[in-house]
Structure 1
Amino acid sequence: MGKIVINGGKRLFGSVCIHGAKNAVLPVMAASLMNEGVTVIRGCPDIADVRAMCGILNHLHCKTDFKKGCLVIDTSMAEYEEIKAEDTKQLRASSVLMGPVLTRFGKVRLAYPGGCSIGSRPLDIHLHALKCFGASWSVSEDFIEMETTGLHPSEITLRFPSVGATENALMAAAAQCGTTVLYNAAKEPEIESLCAYLEKCGAVITGAGTECIRVRGKGVLQSAEFFAKPDRIVAGTYMAAVAACGGSVYLQGVTPSLCRGFLDVFTGMGMDIRMEGEAMLVQMYHRPVNLHKICTGAYPDFPTDMQSMVLSVASVGEGTLILKEQIFENRFKTVPWLKKMGADITLSGDSVLVKGVETLKGSEVYGEDLRGTAALITAGLAAQETTVIHDADYILRGYMDLCENLKGLGAEIEWENS
């Protein structure tokens, strides 16, 4: 595992281009299995999760070619294979392969997805959705198995607006002749992106971005090209860094609407945000002001993926903040490390009470998940003296050139291979 060394206390100035959204790209990569041609994804980030999904597609005898932000996937020679633990253990998004593999081959045997251990993240919502299409399933200690003699359109109500389950249902629906109606669907921008791709493939979809989505499937899907929008959580990560450190940074290609759900949190903490041309300018020249309470929730509420970074910002904010986590039960792994750096945080069940301190002190800490590692980077940038983040490879799952980009903004930060 690599480590990140930060000499903190520097304000950030300059411009950064926000790369394509991994949570938009990964389901499109999975959906490419449902056509027998070539899918082209432009603006694709070169991150570990994308490479891991390429590996799974290669295992299924697809060809992938990835150069300079352009990923080409040829599924014309795809063949069924069991998707084993060595393929899924690093990638939670491997769960979105269930619908496409089942649709193309009539069966799927998938080892439980891995990724970050931030909570149980049960797959029962995915299984319920696919069962409604006519699939039968069984689960064992290590595998999920599904099969079908033929899927059919359906009306499906999700008990929770799960992003992954919504994606699996949309992909399965697009490949069935007839109309599927999905109730209590997830409304994230990444859902809208997937729907736009599936429409290019031939499906007719209404209601994307709302809780009720109708899909008139085509049966046989055609190949298509997909352009990935900027990653809103990556944009939020840079915003958190500026909020904690101070400075003025242009986020290229980012709009306020893309950052819905957390933009008001940063403005409430005192950040000045405005559009200038094709970039969003974020500025902070004073200590953040902590809001009274923030609760995570399904989109358009405050995203759980931003929780850890805002926790770092609040640690150096003025006043107190109660932060309640309502999505994942194990997303406060950074708390002990932030406390080691001098943060005043009290953890109680699904909530933390943060009493802001004027400054954090550099320390040796450990990354334990993707967003938690980003939060430790945020804290290290704001801290005095040197912070060393061990086990930092988690950051490679979702961020491209993060250390280099921060260095370009004036941070003293280095990646070192352990």
Structure 2
Amino acid sequence: MWAARKSSDTLILINAFMRPLKAKFGKELLEVGKYIIEGLRPLKGEIKVGGAKNAALPIIAAALLADSPGVLEDIPQLRDVNNLCKIIEEMGAKVKISNHRIEIDPRTVFKSEADHELARKLRASYYILGVMLAKEGHARTTLPGGCNIGNRPIDLHLKGFRALGAEVNLDHGVVEVKADRLKGAEIYLDYPSVGATINIMIAASRAEGKTVIENAAREPEIVDLANFLTVMGAKIKGVGTDVIKIEGVSEMHGVEHRIIPDRIEAGTYMIAAAISKGDVFIRNVLTEHVKPLIAKMHEMGIVVEENIEGVRVTGQNDFKAVDVKTLPYPGFPTDMQSQMMALLTQTDETSLIIETVWENRFMHVDELKRMGADIKIDGHSALIKPGHLTGAEVRATDLRAGAALILAGLAAEGKTEVRDIYHVERGYEDIEKKLQLVGAKINKIS
């Protein structure tokens, strides 16, 4: 009773706060919109996966390292991508976007500070620090934003910059780094952070001498960035392992590069096929990148057929319960945890999820409970019991939580409304259109 009253009081306060904002910025605020989903419809057909958001963002930033224009292909059309393009445009770069293709000319960049309002909107804005520190010896931006899924400091990024010889100042949420000349160093990461590995690798690519990153992250998006930097002229070895070696170079040139497919988008549609008890071929998937999910789906009794072009997923009437533990790559990805939880509500027995990466990544649980899910949280663990999902009005608390609620809506009886979908649009391009193509009854209302 108390919790319900507290939630109601909070909603009243939020609405009171939003009313004057809607009066002033009505059109923009209404764009958050909602998805309306009618469940219990088996999906059938084919979905094509787009370029990886988490590869595209650092590569767009790293394009500024070049001394000549470059072209990026298979860029997803997402809010985060648009915001990062606005940041580098505001810094002076010439950016031309057309049909999943971006042309970037870095020769006109005239400042090394990212716009603070734009930087607050996405986590990847911190890559500007590594890029401009390497190229101009100075960079400044506010602490970045993104999904509120836990404490995400940039300590390891700054530790790496300091090791390379940079002076680091952090004051009232603004980060400034500068160095007369970066010099290679041996850097051990206390945790295999993806962002820190990327930022240090970018900065070291134009440092003087050799840099070694130990306990480096191994994600496919890091490999894609390293391939991009190498073609630009960088000298990088060991990528894909936990020890990366970089020999700094003084010049880099613009190139053409195609972004790898998005493994998280692929995994989301694989679960969509299974949870709807459908039969869907997901095209443009590098199956090596989704092996942890495929393994768990096989354990659950879901048929997953792999070939060179993608995967075919056929849902079953009954799913077996499994235990899942999120880990850095090549373990089960934290970005698939909430989607997997939606699927595990449909199993025959109790399943367990242990979240080891982010401490605040169970915010979707309360929303799934609104739909009838039986889930109990104990610290970093979640016990998911079999349950019958019914449609409800729910809210996307973050990007992947929003995807999980859409998936739950596909399996729920009746109508589900997913609100605050601007989170979802940060990481999925036209998710409702792709699902409509395979028979889902889902509509977006702006």
TM class by shorter chain equals: over 0.9
2:411 is matched with which residue?
A: 382
1:184 is matched with which residue?
A: 215
Tell me if structure 2 keeps the 8 A contact 1:59–1:81: no
Kindly provide the amino acid, as one letter, of the partner of residue 339 in structure 1. Answer: K
2:445 is matched with which residue?
A: 416
3-state DSSP of counterpart to 1:159: coil
Kindly provide the amino acid, as one letter, of the partner of residue 356 in structure 1. Answer: P
Q: Distance between the aligned counterparts of 1:265 and 1:96, measured in 2?
A: 33
Tell me if structure 2 keeps the 8 A contact 1:88–1:112: yes
Kindly provide the amino acid, as one letter, of the partner of residue 297 in structure 1. Answer: L
State the shift of 1:37 in Å. Answer: 1.2
1:117 is matched with which residue?
A: 148
State the shift of 1:393 in Å. Answer: 1.3
State the shift of 1:166 in Å. Answer: 0.4
Q: Distance between the aligned counterparts of 1:130 and 1:40, measured in 2?
A: 28
2:4 is matched with which residue?
A: none
State the shift of 1:105 in Å. Answer: 2.1
3-state DSSP of counterpart to 1:273: strand
3-state DSSP of counterpart to 1:352: strand
Kindly provide the amino acid, as one letter, of the partner of residue 330 in structure 2. Answer: P
1:317 is matched with which residue?
A: 347
Q: 1:349 aligns with which of 379, 395, 404?
A: 379
Tell me if structure 2 keeps the 8 A contact 1:185–1:211: yes
Tell me if structure 2 keeps the 8 A contact 1:206–1:213: yes
Kindly provide the amino acid, as one letter, of the partner of residue 94 in structure 2. Answer: K
Give matches, 1:221-232, under 5 Å. 221-232=252-263
The runs of 4+ residues in structure 1 deviating greater than 6 Å are none
Q: Distance between the aligned counterparts of 2:42 and 2:307, measured in 1?
A: 21
Q: 2:102 aligns with which of 71, 75, 78?
A: 71
Q: 2:292 aligns with which of 256, 261, 274?
A: 261
Kindly provide the amino acid, as one letter, of the partner of residue 238 in structure 2. Answer: G
Give matches, 1:233-248, under 5 Å. 233-248=264-279
1:92 is matched with which residue?
A: 123
Kindly provide the amino acid, as one letter, of the partner of residue 63 in structure 1. Answer: K
Q: Distance between the aligned counterparts of 2:316 and 2:346, measured in 1?
A: 13
2:359 is matched with which residue?
A: 329
Identity of aligned residues (%): 37
Tell me if structure 2 keeps the 8 A contact 1:255–1:275: no
3-state DSSP of counterpart to 2:124: helix
Tell me if structure 2 keeps the 8 A contact 1:316–1:343: no
Q: CA RMSD in A?
A: 1.1
Structure 1 stretches lacking a partner, 5+ long:
none
- 1:339 aligns to 2:369 (yes or no): yes
Q: 1:101 aligns with which of 132, 142, 145?
A: 132
Q: Distance between the aligned counterparts of 2:417 and 2:216, measured in 1?
A: 41
2:26 is matched with which residue?
A: none
Q: 2:434 aligns with which of 393, 405, 412?
A: 405
Tell me if structure 1 keeps the 8 A contact 2:261–2:286: no
- 1:364 aligns to 2:398 (yes or no): no
Kindly provide the amino acid, as one letter, of the partner of residue 391 in structure 1. Answer: D
3-state DSSP of counterpart to 1:235: helix
Kindly provide the amino acid, as one letter, of the partner of residue 346 in structure 1. Answer: K
2:420 is matched with which residue?
A: 391
Count of residues paired in the alignment: 415
- 1:298 aligns to 2:328 (yes or no): yes
Q: Distance between the aligned counterparts of 1:141 and 1:309, measured in 2?
A: 36
Q: 1:252 aligns with which of 273, 283, 286?
A: 283
Kindly provide the amino acid, as one letter, of the partner of residue 428 in structure 2. Answer: Y
Q: Distance between the aligned counterparts of 1:112 and 1:277, measured in 2?
A: 41
Kindly provide the amino acid, as one letter, of the partner of residue 128 in structure 1. Answer: K
State the shift of 1:303 in Å. Answer: 0.6
Tell me if structure 2 keeps the 8 A contact 1:58–1:64: yes
